[in-house]
């Protein structure tokens, strides 16, 4: 029924319009955003936990490294970090491959503003299929998001670790627990209660930061909303229309509001579970309610 768009109208026209190839690309982009969040959240949490653990380490160089990671990444604007870091990271990968695969290369790698490595060192290779190029771009996006938001998570977790009452740590050590046992059995289980409010806010910020994907060469839903919503003339499409960007961005508004609302409900449930039995205001409220 969509073979001749000029002969259809109403809901049939709209159904055909919303199932065109470019719209399917937009739906795939929506899946890309959700996949990015699903992979980046635990990755950033891992970076954050590592950074916070390093920042409170008894080994001075490791402690300096952890605090430097938190301070430097948090102090650089996200957009500047995204524009610079991805290029630097991509060139670092290609430089390492160049050293391994082309040891006899006799030309300069940096020639003015150009970065030239041997064809075998390119990432991905020019002969690679399109899905490899897209996967590599997605990998760089996940790594960049994880490093940036991992620094914020590290600051939250570091503060949460310091919020755990020192008396509990001293009591564990008085019972003969080693420093490692105290860390994993006493400090880590309790610090999540203090870290979750900050991590919840960070999750919301991460959701709102997904439109920055276009800076990394990934076509996200904001890109497609702007592209599809613009005025389309009969000379360029079988489905001409006026400027519909307001409707596309309104749909994105609804999507993000629904997504953040679901996130709030889930995070509230997690917080309730974590505070159960804990010596916190949330745990005290649960004990009073049960009584």
pLDDT band at 165 (very low <50, low <70, confident <90, very high): confident
Is the confidence at residue 144, as pLDDT, over 70? yes
Predicted confidence (pLDDT) per residue in 171-230, tens digit: 888 888 888 888 888 888 888 888 888 999 999 988 888 877 776 767 778 888 888 888
- According to the model, what pLDDT value does residue 52 have? 92
In this prediction the pTM is 0.79
- According to the model, what pLDDT value does residue 151 have? 92
Q: Give me the mean pLDDT over the 239-248 stretch.
A: 83
Predicted confidence (pLDDT) per residue in 64-81, tens digit: 999 999 998 888 887 777
pLDDT band at 154 (very low <50, low <70, confident <90, very high): very high
**Mean pLDDT across the chain, nearest whole number?**
82
pLDDT band at 277 (very low <50, low <70, confident <90, very high): low
More reliable by pLDDT, 80 or 248: 248
Predicted confidence (pLDDT) per residue in 47-63, tens digit: 999 999 999 888 899 99
Is the confidence at residue 114, as pLDDT, over 80? no
- According to the model, what pLDDT value does residue 156 have? 93
Q: Which of 69-73, 84-88, 140-144 has the lowest mean pLDDT?
A: 84-88
pLDDT band at 241 (very low <50, low <70, confident <90, very high): confident
* SS3 track for the chain: CCCCHHHCCHHHHHHHHCCCHHHHHHHHHHHHHHHHHHHHHHHHHHHHHHHHHHHCCCCHHHHHHHHHHHHHHHHCCHHHHHHHHHHHHHHHHHHHHHHHHCCCCCCCCEECCEECCCHHHCCCCCCCCHHHHHHHHHHHHHHHHHHHHHHHHHHHHHHHHHHCCHHHHHHHHHCCCCHHHHHHHHHHHHHHHHHHHHHHHHHHHHHHHHHHHHHHCCCCHHHHHHHHHCCECCCCCCCCECCCHHHHHHHHHHHHHHHHHHHHHHHHHHHHHHHCCCCCHHHHHHHHHHC
- According to the model, what pLDDT value does residue 46 have? 94
Q: Give me the mean pLDDT over the 258-271 stretch.
A: 89
- Residues above pLDDT 90, as percent of the chain: 17
Q: Which of 24-38, 191-205, 232-246 has the lowest mean pLDDT?
A: 232-246
**Fold of the 18-290 domain:** MetI-like fold (1.10.3720)
- According to the model, what pLDDT value does residue 282 have? 47
């Amino acid at each position: 029924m969509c073979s001749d768009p000029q002969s259809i109208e109403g809901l049939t026209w709209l159904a055909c319009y919303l199932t065109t190839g470019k719209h399917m690309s937009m739906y795939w982009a929506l899946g890309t955003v959700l996949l990015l969040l699903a992979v980046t959240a635990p990755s950033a949490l891992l970076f954050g936990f590592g950074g916070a653990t390093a920042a409170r380490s008894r080994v001075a160089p490791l402690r300096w490294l952890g605090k430097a990671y938190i301070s430097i990444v948090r102090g650089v604007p996200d957009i500047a970090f995204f524009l610079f870091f991805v290029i630097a990271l991509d060139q670092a990968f290609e430089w390492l491959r160049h050293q391994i695969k082309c040891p006899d290369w006799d030309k300069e790698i940096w020639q003015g503003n150009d970065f030239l490595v041997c064809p075998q060192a390119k990432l991905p290779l020019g002969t690679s299929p399109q899905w490899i190029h897209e996967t590599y771009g997605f990998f760089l996006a996940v790594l960049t998001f994880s490093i940036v938001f991992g620094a914020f998570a590290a600051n939250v977790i570091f503060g949460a670790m310091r919020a755990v009452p020192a008396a509990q740590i001293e009591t564990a050590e008085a019972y003969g627990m080693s420093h490692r046992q105290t860390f994993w059995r006493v400090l880590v289980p309790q610090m999540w209660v203090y870290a979750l409010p900050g991590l919840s806010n960070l999750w919301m910020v991460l959701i709102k930061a997904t439109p920055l994907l276009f800076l990394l060469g990934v076509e996200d839903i904001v890109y497609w909303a702007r592209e599809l919503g613009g005025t389309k003339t009969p000379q360029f499409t079988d489905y001409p229309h006026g400027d519909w960007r307001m409707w596309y961005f309104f749909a994105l508004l609804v999507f993000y509001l629904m997504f953040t609302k679901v996130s709030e409900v889930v995070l509230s449930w997690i917080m309730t579970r974590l505070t159960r039995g804990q010596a916190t205001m949330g745990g005290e409220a649960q004990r009073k309610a049960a009584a």
